[in-house]
Amino acid sequence: MAFLHFIPSPSSSSNNPSLNPNAPLSSFRYCNNPNFPPKPHHLHVANRRRRKLLSLLRCSASSFSEKHHTNSPKSDDVVELPLFPLPLVLFPGAILPLQIFEFRYRIMMHTLLHTDLRFGVIYTDAVSGTAEVGCVGEVIKHERLVDDRFFLICKGQERFRVTKVVRTKPYLVAEVTWLEDRPSSASEDLDLEGLAGEVETYMKDVIRLSNRLGGKPEKEVGDLRRNLFPTPFSFFVGSTFEGAPREQQALLELEDTAARLKREKETLRNTLNYLTAASAVKDVFPSSSSSS
């Protein structure tokens, strides 16, 4: 079994497009090596294969700090934000390496370098169009090349909802409001801690079984939460579901931490059941499963 497929929950649904669905997907390159600057061999996101599970979960949860929650803008604030439609979902706290080479987005970068280095990353695909909810990407490291391309390392910050398109040229700019999870009571906080613990347990089980199927030595999976509170932990978990961007988008849009964790738990449970079945087949037919 070469690659793990996350099995989304049955409640997965398509996005409600509201922006320009014709935004090109060739205006950037997603750099799947976090070393900076990226190497020339990085593949275009439209053609790259899914990473193995361990490389998905190798992203340290320590980058999912509480910072973007403690100083978040008020949810009723309305601001203008340049938008970058991409065929991927950015979560608060996640790291996103990009290479910018299309002219209009190079213009955007020149503008951002003189302002606050923040832009909106919003999911788009040919089927569902462009989503209404996205995540702010803050440029934390950049390099400008002699041909005016840019290598960027971005970190996800606040979530937002598009309320009005301001302009589409030279790049997309929209009015947005900020999205936050609803506050929880003290009793709900205890429930969230328990739910987050269950999700972490499922993640560890998935990693162990994936290692076994991949022929890797079994070893104890370390702490995945890294002292994260339930909300940023739920974002970290969602960021590992790479290869299922519509499911990730649905998780990003939820405004309830418990609902997000429950959905992630269901996805991980489905994935674990799939892996368990695959492991049973491998035990019965070791030669045939090793060639998959």
Of residues 49 and 162, more confidently modeled: 162
Of residues 220 and 1, more confidently modeled: 220
For 250-262, letters b (16+ CB in 10 Å) and e give: bbbbbeebbebbb
pLDDT number for residue 224: 92
CA–CA dist 267, 37 (Å, integer)? 34
pLDDT number for residue 6: 63
CA–CA dist 41, 148 (Å, integer)? 19
Is the model's pLDDT at 55 over the cut of 70? no
Query: How many CA atoms within 13 Å lie on the side-chain side of 76?
Result: 0
Q: How many Cβ atoms sit within 10 Å of the Cβ of residue 30?
A: 18
Of residues 184 and 255, more confidently modeled: 255
pLDDT number for residue 32: 41
Tokens of 204: 């560890």
Is the model's pLDDT at 15 over the cut of 50? no
Per-residue pLDDT reduced to its tens digit, 250-285: 999 999 999 999 999 999 999 999 999 988 877 666
Is the model's pLDDT at 96 over the cut of 70? yes
pLDDT number for residue 118: 96
Closest CA to 142 of 61, 64, 38: 38
Per-residue pLDDT reduced to its tens digit, 22-44: 333 334 444 443 333 333 222 23
Cis ω for the linkage preceding 73 (within 30 of 0): no
Mean pLDDT lowest among 85-94, 126-135, 283-292: 283-292
Tokens of 59: 């992203």
Q: Do 160 and 133 touch, CB atoms closer than 8 A?
A: yes
Mean pLDDT over all residues of the chain? 79
Of residues 76 and 280, more confidently modeled: 280
Q: Do 61 and 236 touch, CB atoms closer than 8 A?
A: yes
Tokens of 289: 């499963």
Run of H or E residues at 85:
strand 78-86
Q: Which domains does the chain have, with CATH numbers?
A: 79-178 (2.30.130.40), 192-284 (no CATH)
Residues of the chain with pLDDT > 90: what percent?
55
Mean pLDDT across the stretch 89-95?
98
Sequence-ordered list of residues with C-beta below 8 angstroms from that of 284, at least 6 positions apart, any chain: none
Q: Is 270 helix (H, G, I), strand (E, B) or coil?
A: helix
Please, which pLDDT band fits residue 132 given cuts at 50, 70 and 90? very high
Closest CA to 171 of 236, 112, 239: 112
pLDDT number for residue 279: 82
